[in-house]
Amino acid sequence: MERTLIILKPDTIQRKLIGRIIQRFEDKGLKIVGMKMIWINKELAYKHYEAHINKPFFNSLLEFITSLPVVVMVLEGPSVVEQVRKMVGNTDCKKADVGTIRFDFGLSIQNNLIHASESIQDAEREIKIFFKEEEIFSYDPNRYLPSE
C-alpha cells in the first residue's frame, strides 16, 4: 500500500478547516495511518523545503510555515500520491480545478492550505522528516464493523 504526507498549513488551522479537509480524504476511502499537530521550527522547515532554499519565495515560505501549528498526516491507499495530488489541486488556487481543496478553500499561492507529496520518493523522504516509525500505524479499519 502506498503512503503520502499531507501538511495542513497554518491557514488551514487559522480558518478552522481541519475537519472539513480531513473529511474529504476519509470520504475518498483513504486511511489515516499517522496524524499529529506540531509547530514546525526553522530547522524542520529547512529540511522539508530544502529544494526551495535558493528560490525567491523561500523566506516568505519559511515565515509562513513556522507562523502557527500545522497538522501532519500520513495517508495510505492505492495510488495515494496521485489521488491526493488530484484532490488538492494546483498550488495557485486560481488555476485549481473546480472541486479541489485549493479551489474550494485557497486564498492565494502562499495561503494554499495544504502540502501533499509530489511523488512516492518525496513521500518516503517527507514522512521520515515528520514521523518516527512507531508513530505510523497499521490496522484493519473493518475490524469492529458488524458482520451482518
Active site residues: 115
- What order of strands is seen across the sheet that includes strand 2-8? 31-38, 70-77, 2-8, 114-116
* Residue 68 CB neighbour total at 10 angstroms: 14
Cell of 72: 501532519
Chain centroid to CA 82: how far? 13
Look-up of cell digits 522539508: 48
User: CA angle, corner 118, sides to 130 and 13, nearest 5?
Assistant: 55
Nearest to 82 by CA among 50, 120, 108: 120
Distance CA 127, CA 111 (A): 22
